[in-house]
Amino acid sequence: MSIEAMTKIDNLKSWTSGVDIDWESVNQLRNIARLPILAGHVAVMPDVHLGKGATVGSVIPTKAAIIPAAVGVDIGCGMIALRTELKANDLPDSLARLRSRIEARVPVGFNHHDAPVNPLHDGLRGRGLVNAGKQLSARYDDLSIMERIGKFDHQRVSRQLGTLGGGNHFIELCLDESNDVWVMLHSGSRNIGKTIGECAIHMARKIAEAKETHLKDKDLAWLDEGTVEFNMYIEGLRWAQDYAAHNRALMMHAVLLALREEFGREVATFEGAINCHHNYANVEEHFGQQVWVTRKGAVSARNGELGIIPGSMGAKSYIVRGKGNEDAYCSCSHGAGRRLSRGAAKRAYTLADLEAQTAGVECRKDEGVLDEIPGAYKDIDTVMAAQTDLVEVVHALKQVMCIKG
């Protein structure tokens, strides 16, 4: 049975025409669609693939409750993109030096800054970033969920602001159809978001066990509005989402500094930057009711709203404008979506394959990023073709440099 046929039976609506979907993902979607807290149907995006707890590429409306594992442990993970004043012919023949400049300013993987970033030292939009950082710090001191988390390295929270992380997080230089140079990066709320998410998932599981709630997947346990645990989580969730957005802004600041150093002038301002989450939850109105909308690997695509849909290390990415499709809860995909798991990708491909698939891109081409090879992802053009009633393409981007942790 195709997913299109399956969705007529289950409480699902999909935008997956022409896209391969494995049955594990289908069954996971069915488990979500049968939850008693669901406030409508589950919307399935074309980049859908198996996730922990909830399926990546799903939009889940819930009434008076929220599923922490559906949001996930990289709370507020998302994208930021900015068009610069540079043209393709402004770039040097080799981008290796520029890549090194950026890597010197933005810690990747498990690394962090030795001290909190102070944007005032370098100008650009420093004052606004400093004020945003101060507000985050003050709110962090009052987070009630930290009482449940217990012992924690609080200094790490501020030192990880402005850092990339690993996995599928990246910083890229891209060219659009007019040969304008863009900066695009992907990251989230780092270790603190993970810690808040894991704590909330644990609380939800414990409550489900105490109530003897029957769940096909214990990760689908939820927190009910009005409970202490719900309030703790929502406060932490909103803070972590803001932390993630600020983290991306600080990295963009650092990349623009590296570009200024490389070209001897400022090449962009923050005006016009697109900064969007794709792992998050928010209260929204749909079909006449206020619901919690959890986008697990999905981007808000309200009518006229700009968003970012990245491909992979060797494929195109897109700046899009939402069409406000209500059946999709005004959402679109958050990327191409994985076709192979990380382990399967490492078994299926070689370093020679990685070299070939990332030809022309200044990037790592070693074992450490083999699981991020473009072939491990779905074809981005097929994914885009499946969601033409969700978004329209504003710019098509092709990366020329990619930094991964």
CATH at 149:
3.90.1860.10
Q: Is residue 370 part of a domain?
A: no
- The residue to which tokens 């610069």 are assigned: 84
Binding residues: 74, 168-172, 186, 278-279, 310-313, 317, 334-337, 404
Q: Is residue 350 part of a domain?
A: no
What domain range includes position 320? 3-339+377-404
Contact (Cβ atoms closer than 8 angstroms) between residue 43 and residue 331:
yes
Residues acting as catalytic residues: 334
Measure the CA–CA gap between 243 and 251, rounded to whole angstroms: 12
Q: What is the mean pLDDT of residues 235-261?
A: 96
Would you list the DSSP string of 67-98? -HHHH-SSTT-EEEEEEEEEEGGGS-S--HHH
Residue 132: the pLDDT is 86
Q: Which residue has the higher pLDDT, 6 or 133?
A: 133
Residue 1: the pLDDT is 41
Q: Is residue 119 part of a domain?
A: yes
Binding residues for GMP: 168-172, 278-279, 310-313, 317, 334-337, 404
Q: What is the mean pLDDT of residues 69-88?
A: 97
Measure the CA–CA gap between 217 and 211, rounded to whole angstroms: 15
Q: Is residue 349 part of a domain?
A: no
**pTM attached to this predicted model:** 0.95
Binding residues for Mn(2+): 74, 169, 186, 278
Q: Is residue 173 part of a domain?
A: yes
Total number of domains constituting the chain: 1
Q: What is the mean pLDDT of residues 387-392?
A: 98
Residue 270: the pLDDT is 80
Q: Is residue 368 part of a domain?
A: no
